[in-house]
């Protein structure tokens, strides 16, 4: 993790809710958020699709804080309604075009997790796993990836607890079912570990497809307790699952040894819920990790 220009922060700390979820409406004014990112030493920031839709004015606003665009994120969700599926593909094309227009090159592609998703209630255990639905998700994410690729960005599968692509088995199914030229890999090490995978081992197997990584440190004991006790997504988060980088059990050294020399991929530092007392303090701790990790 020695390449400062390809390390972005997702300042999601500002959106953490008291009940263990996220709500972007809680964040302060964008300039306050961007100042916190730049003040911690980051030069790039994760971009939401709504921000990309703002076009050059958003890029200029970043530049006012000495920041550039990092990766983006897009998603799709299971449906058996052909019309809904077509509408979502059209939305993906629009999102891909918006990202490409402002210079975003990598877009993490996830299976969406609405708040009422059954896997939000029963998190990280592959709840209600179904082979037919998984096959549908392979197709849905594959066609979404193709739509994004056609717009000039590189989509990267982003497995996520609380979604229909949560477990290692589901991750492999999508990666093996969609050609590498259409869909890369954009793992979140915290979410893979939460769902019981060995993140470094899995990433190593698909090393040639990795376009970016969400670097999210976690407490392994909390993750294990979550699975054993069938906790909800929110309950696991409130139990202290997430922690600033370097403060948890993620094998960051092994990840660095595997990927750290690759100048092409993106790293996104992310702490969904601050372990520090405030979002601002959490972001400063992320900056401390950044300084230590890039000063070798």
Domains of the chain by start residue, with CATH: 4-294 (3.20.20.150)
Contacts of 195 (CB under 8 A, 6+ apart): 124, 125, 126, 159, 161, 166, 167, 168, 227
Q: What percent of the chain clears pLDDT 70, i.e. is strictly above it?
A: 98
Q: What is the dihedral of CA 51, 57, 59, 64, to 10 degrees?
A: -120
Tell me the per-residue pLDDT of 5-32, one tens digit each, with 9 for 90 and over. Answer: 799 999 999 999 999 999 999 999 999 9
Query: Do residues 159 and 166 touch, judged by C-beta distance below 8 A?
Result: yes
SS3 state at 5? helix
Please give the Cα distance from 281 to 274 (Å, whole number): 8
Contacts of 70 (CB under 8 A, 6+ apart): 8, 9, 44, 45, 46, 47, 104, 266, 268
Given this model, what pLDDT does residue 294 score?
A: 87
Top-confidence residue, 293 or 53: 53
Query: Do residues 108 and 72 touch, judged by C-beta distance below 8 A?
Result: yes
CA atoms within 13 A on the CB side of 278: 7
Residue found under tokens 């994760």: 46
Kindly state the tokens that stand for 228.
């054993």
Instruction: Report whether pLDDT(170) > 80.
Output: yes
Residue found under tokens 């000495």: 66
Kindly state the tokens that stand for 290.
């950044």
Helix ranges restricted to H, the chain: 30-39, 49-52, 56-63, 82-101, 118-121, 131-150, 168-177, 189-194, 199-205, 220-228, 233-238, 252-259, 279-294
Pairing between β-strand 7-10 and β-strand 44-47 as defined by DSSP bridges = parallel
Please return the burial class of 144, using the count of CB atoms within 10 Å of its CB with bins 0-12, 13-18 and 19+: buried
Please give the Cα distance from 276 to 96 (Å, whole number): 34
Tell me the per-residue pLDDT of 182-218, one tens digit each, with 9 for 90 and over. Answer: 999 999 999 999 999 999 999 999 999 999 999 999 9
User: Please, which residues bridge with residue 15 across strands?
Assistant: none
Tell me the per-residue pLDDT of 221-266, one tens digit each, with 9 for 90 and over. Answer: 999 999 999 999 999 999 999 999 999 999 999 999 999 889 999 9
Pairing between β-strand 242-243 and β-strand 68-76 as defined by DSSP bridges = unpaired
């Amino acid at each position: 993790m020695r390449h400062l220009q390809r390390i972005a922060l997702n300042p999601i700390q500002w959106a953490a809710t008291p009940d263990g979820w996220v709500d972007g409406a809680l964040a302060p004014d964008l300039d306050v958020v961007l100042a916190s990112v730049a003040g911690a030493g980051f030069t790039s920031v994760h971009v939401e699709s709504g921000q990309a839709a703002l076009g050059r004015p958003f890029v200029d606003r970043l530049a006012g804080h000495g920041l550039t665009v990092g990766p983006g994120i897009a998603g799709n969700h299971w449906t058996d309604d052909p019309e809904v599926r077509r509408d979502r593909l059209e939305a993906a094309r629009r999102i891909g075009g918006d990202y490409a227009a402002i210079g975003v090159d990598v877009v993490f592609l996830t299976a969406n997790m609405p708040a009422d998703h059954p896997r939000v209630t029963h998190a990280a255990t592959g709840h209600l796993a179904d082979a037919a639905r998984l096959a549908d998700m392979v197709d849905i994410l594959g066609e979404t990836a193709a739509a994004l690729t056609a717009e000039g960005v590189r989509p990267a599968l982003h497995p996520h607890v609380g979604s229909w692509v949560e477990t290692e088995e589901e991750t492999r199914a999508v990666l093996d079912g969609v050609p590498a030229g259409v869909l890369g890999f954009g793992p979140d090490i915290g979410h893979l570990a939460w769902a019981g995978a060995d993140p470094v081992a899995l990433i190593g197997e698909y090393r040639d497809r990795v376009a970016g990584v969400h670097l999210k440190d976690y407490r392994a004991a909390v993750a294990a307790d979550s699975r054993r006790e069938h906790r909800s997504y929110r309950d696991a988060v409130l139990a202290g699952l997430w922690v600033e980088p370097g403060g948890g059990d993620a094998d960051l050294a092994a990840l660095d040894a595997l990927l750290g020399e690759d100048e092409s991929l993106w790293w996104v530092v992310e702490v969904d819920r601050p372990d520090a007392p405030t979002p601002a303090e959490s972001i400063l701790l992320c900056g401390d990790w950044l300084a230590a990790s890039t000063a070798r």
